[in-house]
Amino acid sequence: MKAILLAGGKGTRLRPLTVHTPKPIVPILDRPFLYYQIDLLKQIPEIDEVILSLNYQPRRIEEIFGEGEGLGIRVRYVVEPMPLGTGGAIRYAGDSLTESVVVFNGDVLTQVDLAAVLRLHRERKAKATIVLTPVDNPRAYGLVETDSQGNIQRFLEKPGESEITCNTINAGIYVLEPDTFDRIPKDTAWSIERSFFPSLIERGEAFVAYVYDGYWIDIGTPAKYMQVHRDIMDGHYSAAPFNGKGSAWVHPDARVEQGAEVHGPCFIDDGAVIKTGAKIYPYSVIGRQTHVEDGAVVEGSIVWPNGWIGPEASVHGSILGRNVHVGRNAIIKTAAVLGDKTVITDYSHF
């Protein structure tokens, strides 16, 4: 059995972080994001290969995952000749498949029981099964309506107040039968949500919902990306090294000098140096080989590897890409998102 991860997006909502780092490999703590999805797929022993459907900077992703060495599952790459949309990408990646396939959007982090989703799909002899998740504010999303037996009835694109009949949205996780893929045009940009799924409803085919009300998040915006880290540290999503324990975690090969303050929950990675008088406050991530100099403050911020936070500088509620240099006495306190190699000069404020 195969799984397809739709990892071809450009991550425009996360720019400038994704200018040099495709969204599927932005770090969550110290691991590229796709590792978390692959870990979930490995819960189904039948899945022996993960197909990564790529388009944007595919080589960067291939360099990290190789052919799956050390992952315990084979990895294969399919690079779209052009952006094909969600439906077109599935057709292109799954054109030769003959058995049920699990499909994941490349920006979804969840702990859904995939084995239970697959069981439902088989019990109902479905052509497609879609995972739905409830949301607090249905007006902000496209909704998916079901009947009392869990059959999909219709898709509502950001409905008005009077049109809201449910609170369940597409969670971006599917089990599909490849014998339906021929209705997706080859080498054509095609939407699974707007074109493929409606075809199942129109033909009266078995199209069922698995409603999951556990942890689910789309990491595709800076706010959501930061929220993921808070959720891990607070124990809402279980991930090493926290696994539900919200304390400060300091890598054995990091150096926290005497007189520095580290307040959990936070994460300090391999080779990081926290100098005397520096303060690391809760919900901060200090990436590999990053230096936080004397008297500097990092509060509720994510600093990717190889950063430098200068003496008496402070960073609040922001995300800093790789190799970012924050000068002496500089202050960043406006939920900034800084791309790789950004330089903030001494005494700057923003």
End-to-end CA distance of the chain: 51
Mean pLDDT score, 126-148: 85
Q: Is the pLDDT of residue 242 over 90?
A: no
> What single-letter DSSP state applies at residue 230?
H
Contact of 84 with 185, CB cutoff 8 Å: no
CA distance 267 to 251: 8
User: Quick check: 272 and 254 in contact, CB under 8 A?
Assistant: yes
Q: Is pLDDT above 90 for 84?
A: no
The residue with tokens 């929220």 is 227
**Per-residue pLDDT reduced to its tens digit, 34-64:** 999 999 999 899 999 999 998 888 788 888 8
The answer to whether residue 275 scores a pLDDT higher than 70 is: yes
CA neighbor of 104 nearest in space, from 159, 66, 186, 47: 47
Tell me the average pLDDT across 227-236. 93
98 by Cβ neighbours in 10 Å (0-12 / 13-18 / 19+) ranks as exposed
* 178-201 mean pLDDT: 86
Quick one: which of 191, 170, 219, 217 has its CA closest to 18? 219
**Whether pLDDT at 9 is above 80:** no
Nearest CA-CA partner of 285 in 311, 244, 321: 321
- Give the pLDDT confidence of 307-350 residue by residue, as tens digits: 999 999 999 999 999 999 999 999 998 889 999 999 999 999 98
Q: What is the pLDDT of residues 85-117, one digit of tens each?
A: 888 888 888 888 889 999 998 889 999 999 999
CATH class of the structural domain 2-218:
alpha beta
Q: What's residue 158's pLDDT?
A: 67
Task: Report the sign of the C-alpha dihedral through residues 24, 29, 35, 39, in that order.
Answer: negative
Token pair, residue 285, equals 């991530």
What is the per-residue DSSP string for 220-273?
-SHHHHHHHHHHHHHTSS--TTTTT--SEEE-TT-EE-TT-EE-SSEEE-TT-E
Tell me if the bond preceding 265 is cis, omega within 30° of 0.
yes
Query: What is the number of helices (H) and of strands (E) in the chain?
Result: 6, 30
pTM above 0.95, yes or no: no
Q: Give every CB contact of residue 172 below 8 A, 6+ residues apart in sequence.
A: 104, 105, 107, 108, 131, 218
For residue 195, give the 3-state DSSP assignment: helix
DSSP per residue over 46-59, as a string? T--EEEEEE-SSHH
By DSSP bridging, strand 314-316 and strand 331-332 are parallel
- CA 281 vs. chain centroid, Å, equals 24
Q: What CATH number labels 247-344?
A: 2.160.10.10
- Where are the domains positioned within the chain? 2-218, 247-344
